[in-house]
């Protein structure tokens, strides 16, 4: 296997952290420079027509795109620890929280970054109104996350799951998106401090 990687971008980081939390060594990395638009070249578009990173290249030549599809594939080859859960209800609640964060906080932060960060102006047709409307939703998403983390060490209980990786990276992504994390989200701060101290978070 080889992993087409995108450096500091959030989705490539999610996948590298997932490998680390699974205790699975990273495959050979093929760096793709997003700032230089290497993900938009004809060569890369043949690998992933969606022009997104990362992509896991399997030994038979199959190009597997989409962060969570890659993570699930790794989990199916290496079931323990079960970062997507094991028992049906537990797995369903992890999937619920992973999607709730992805479709909520993560998407909103990404929209602020994409549509307002000066560095993205060359890569995207920026829509400032999209950034602004997304920015206004973020507090509601943080309230929901903080509430859940007030009642649980990790999002879905006592153990880290894929939902924590998604949510932790969404919080990390707020910094380059220039969105401050208000002081009073003390549960998010406690949990994010714990995540950031894990060896996986350095990858």
Instruction: Kindly list the residues in this chain that would bind a copy of itself in the complex (CB under 8 A).
Output: 49-50, 58, 62, 64-66, 68-70, 72-73, 76-77, 88-89, 91-93, 95-96, 99-100, 103-104, 125, 127-130, 133, 136, 144, 147
* CB 20, min distance to a copy of itself, A: 20
Q: Helix (H, G, I), strand (E, B), or coil: what is residue 150? A: helix
* CB 96, min distance to a copy of itself, A: 4
Structure tokens at 64: 């597997």
* CB 144, min distance to a copy of itself, A: 5
Cα gap 50→44, rounded to integer Å:
10
Q: Give the DSSP per-residue string, 82-149.
A: -TT-SSHHHHHHHHHHHHHHIIIIIHHHHHHHHHH-GGGTTTS---HHHHHHHHHHHHHHHHHHHHHH
Q: Which is nearer to a copy of itself, 91 or 120 (CB)?
A: 91
Q: Which is nearer to a copy of itself, 129 or 158 (CB)?
A: 129
* CB 76, min distance to a copy of itself, A: 4
* CB 88, min distance to a copy of itself, A: 4
Cα gap 87→200, rounded to integer Å:
25
Q: Which is nearer to a copy of itself, 29 or 93 (CB)?
A: 93
Q: Quick count: other Cβ atoms within 10 Å of Cβ 128?
A: 9
Q: Which is nearer to a copy of itself, 7 or 130 (CB)?
A: 130
Q: Which is nearer to a copy of itself, 115 or 201 (CB)?
A: 115
Contacts for 200 with CB less than 8 Å, ≥ 6 apart:
17, 20, 21
């Amino acid at each position: 296997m080889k992993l087409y990687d995108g450096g500091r971008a959030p989705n490539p980081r999610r996948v590298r952290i997932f490998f680390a939390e699974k205790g699975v060594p990273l495959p050979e990395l093929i760096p793709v420079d997003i700032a230089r638009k290497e993900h938009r070249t004809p060569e890369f578009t043949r690998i992933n027509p969606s022009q997104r990173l990362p992509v896991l290249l399997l030994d038979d030549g199959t190009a597997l795109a989409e962060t969570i599809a890659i993570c699930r594939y790794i989990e199916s080859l290496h079931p323990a620890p079960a970062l997507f859960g094991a028992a049906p209800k537990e797995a369903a609640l992890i999937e619920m929280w992973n999607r709730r964060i992805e479709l909520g906080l993560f998407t909103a932060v990404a929209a602020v970054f994409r549509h307002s960060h000066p560095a993205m102006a060359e890569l995207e047709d920026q829509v400032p109104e999209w950034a602004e409307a997304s920015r206004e939703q973020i507090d509601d998403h943080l309230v929901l996350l903080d509430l859940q983390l007030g009642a649980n060490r990790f999002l879905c209980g006592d153990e880290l799951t894929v939902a924590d990786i998604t949510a932790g990276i969404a919080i990390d992504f707020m910094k380059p998106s220039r969105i401050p994390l208000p002081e009073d989200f003390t549960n998010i701060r406690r949990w994010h401090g714990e995540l950031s101290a894990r060896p996986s978070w350095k990858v």
